[in-house]
Amino acid sequence: MAKVIGLLRASAFLSMSVLGISSVATAAVTELEGGPLVMRRLTEDQYRNTISDIFGDLTIGGRFEPDTREGNLIAVGASKATVTPRGLEEYDRMASGIAQQVVSPKRRNQYIPCKPMDAKASDDACARTFLTKVGHLLYRRPMTEQETTNALKVAAAGATQLKDFYFGIQLALTAMLESPQFLFVKEQTESDPSRPGKLRLTAQSMATRISLVLWGSLPDEELLRAAAAGEFDQPEGLAKQVDRMIASPRFEAGVRTYFADMLKFDQFAALSKDPALYPNYSAEVAKQAQEQALRTIVDLLVTQNGDYRDVYTTSKTFLTPVLASAYGLPFNAKWGDLRYWMPVQLPKDMPAAGVLTQIGFSALFSSSGKTSPTLRGKALREVILCQEIPPPPPNVDFSKFATADGNVISVREAIEAHSSNPACAGCHKLMDPLGLALENFDTSGFLDKVAYKDAAGLGQAIHDSPRTSSCLVNRVYSYAAGRSETDNEKQWVKEPLLTDWAAQGYKYPALLRRILLDPGFYRVNPRQASTIEVKSAAVTQAKSPDVKIAAAD
């Protein structure tokens, strides 16, 4: 019966479409209605950025829980992430290491704004001063009195047992750094005074959303102060904070965090290459290849405030001697340090399609033993254009892609096998020509009926494709909300958000500003507000060889 009803609904929708009758789902959307609440685990980049922003350049030792992608974004998959027992051990290791560095003799005066009455005993007053200040930043809100009391108990117990005030602080800070209040961002709601009976995010939850988008980190003291003072209730108050954060040097970190997520740079950690086939490839080249792409993007979108689409056509980039050698380009020996970065304009005889023809993109989306136009074309379709390519059908005979002695056939032979196999041809026609163009093969093709003859032509076709800009808008909105879009949001993103962004010259900061200043972005659907679930029941503990003190929830 359910299938019959589904078919009837589909037929009715088709009939309305043929007759020119618009459905509700496709009606013009003038404002956002709000979506569900989310609780998301901090991603590795967000965790690292936060520690760096609060404590400076500290060493973070430990392995992060594997990130999950949803909608091609880790930031969205984070709403489905949990903490395993093994992951909790790693968070404890990281937290303990960070806390130990903070209270070390060479750093403690930098972070702890007071001196204990006796360094060999507990001091609640000094401990409270430090822990409540740090807790405010870690928890994105003032600590409750119960949380403060619990933290002071941990600090006092540690100081008493080892007769060391700073060891007690270390234990308390460790517990805070591995607590769910820090590791998970849990959104909160309140009544919306401008919409009776409706809900919106609290000012503190708004501040966290804004900061994660703009800085890839948690709110600073000024943003939390503005939230507590009610400044977000006035458009000019919200705009003042958003503009301040975009103008901040920390905005670069936020841009890097988003594009590293979008371009799947996390996959570099598991990337390997056959040294016989790729003698110039190394871990250092991989690291610098990521940095090259991010420097190119930041320079274009932040420093120059340029058109986002130029990311796929620019021939301006940055190189080190190591990368120049990998590209086969001459470099100036006077550069000295092999990690020194130099802005360069690529030669005209080197076809450029922005980041798509850089080592980072080509290395990440290829096999370890050979190049792969298919993987590269698939990545371009899915990552840049938001076009999902289905997996190979289950009946594909993969033996055709190997020689009689079991070796992998050449790239050309693989492409011919794809095109001659009816089960493969449809999808591979969407992927292979794009990948071949990016590998400087003598090839040509079409992208959405726009012809190209080489990598530079393909880059221009991508630049001009409406899919390129619409894909970024959809991805950025989901990234900002930390979840997939609702139907209402999908329509709003399509119109008016995309139209407004185009009118502003496809400037990336303008896109973020437009989203973050819209009141609808902070609205919550009351019917979905109670769907949030606790992701981890783990109990955090502060540990040391001699002391084991359970931290309070």
What string of pLDDT tens digits covers the 553 residues of the chain?
A: 333 323 322 332 222 232 232 333 445 677 899 999 999 999 999 999 999 999 999 999 999 988 889 999 999 999 998 899 999 999 999 999 999 999 999 999 999 999 999 999 999 999 999 999 999 999 999 999 999 999 999 999 999 999 999 999 999 999 999 999 999 999 999 999 999 999 999 999 999 999 999 999 999 999 999 999 999 999 999 999 999 999 999 999 999 999 999 999 999 888 877 776 677 778 888 899 999 999 999 999 999 999 999 999 999 999 998 888 888 887 765 555 556 898 998 888 787 889 999 989 988 887 766 667 888 888 999 999 999 887 776 665 555 544 444 455 455 556 555 565 655 655 667 767 787 788 765 577 889 889 999 899 999 999 999 999 999 999 999 999 999 999 999 999 999 999 999 999 999 999 999 999 999 999 998 665 444 444 433 333 334 333 333 333 3
Q: Would residue 116 be called left, alpha or beta, if left means φ above 0 and alpha means ψ between -120 and 50 degrees? A: beta
End-to-end CA distance of the chain: 48
Residues forming a β-bridge with 355: 353
**Which residues have a Cβ under 8 Å from the Cβ of 271 and sit 6 or more positions away?**
286, 363, 364, 368
Q: What is the pLDDT of residue 448?
A: 85
Task: State the Cα–Cα distance between residues 451 and 374, nearest whole angstrom.
Answer: 19
Q: What is the pLDDT of residue 506?
A: 98
Task: State the Cα–Cα distance between residues 430 and 80, nearest whole angstrom.
Answer: 31
Task: State the Cα–Cα distance between residues 476 and 420, nearest whole angstrom.
Answer: 38
Q: What is the pLDDT of residue 428?
A: 64
Task: State the Cα–Cα distance between residues 195 and 405, nearest whole angstrom.
Answer: 71
Task: State the Cα–Cα distance between residues 172 and 169, nearest whole angstrom.
Answer: 5
Which segments of 58-194 are extended strands (E)? 184-186, 189-191
Predicted model pTM? 0.86
Task: State the Cα–Cα distance between residues 159 and 174, nearest whole angstrom.
Answer: 14
Q: What is the pLDDT of residue 503?
A: 97
77, two tokens: 């998959």
Q: What is the pLDDT of residue 531?
A: 41
347, two tokens: 């030669």
Contact 117, 123 (CB under 8 A): yes
Question: How far, rounded to the nearest angstrom, does the alpha carbon of residue 159 sit from its chain's CA centroid?
Answer: 39
Q: What is the pLDDT of residue 198?
A: 93
CA-closest candidate to residue 70, choices 532, 530, 479: 479
Looking only at the bridges linking them, the beta strands covering 199-201 and 523-524 are antiparallel
Task: State the Cα–Cα distance between residues 496 and 494, nearest whole angstrom.
Answer: 6
Q: What is the pLDDT of residue 433?
A: 73
Burial of 512 (0-12, 13-18, 19+ CB in 10 A): buried
**Distances 429 to 48, 133, 422, 432, 507 between C-alpha atoms, Å:** 41, 58, 11, 6, 32
Report phi then psi at 377, rounded to 5: -65, -40
Number of C-beta neighbours around residue 228 at 10 A: 15
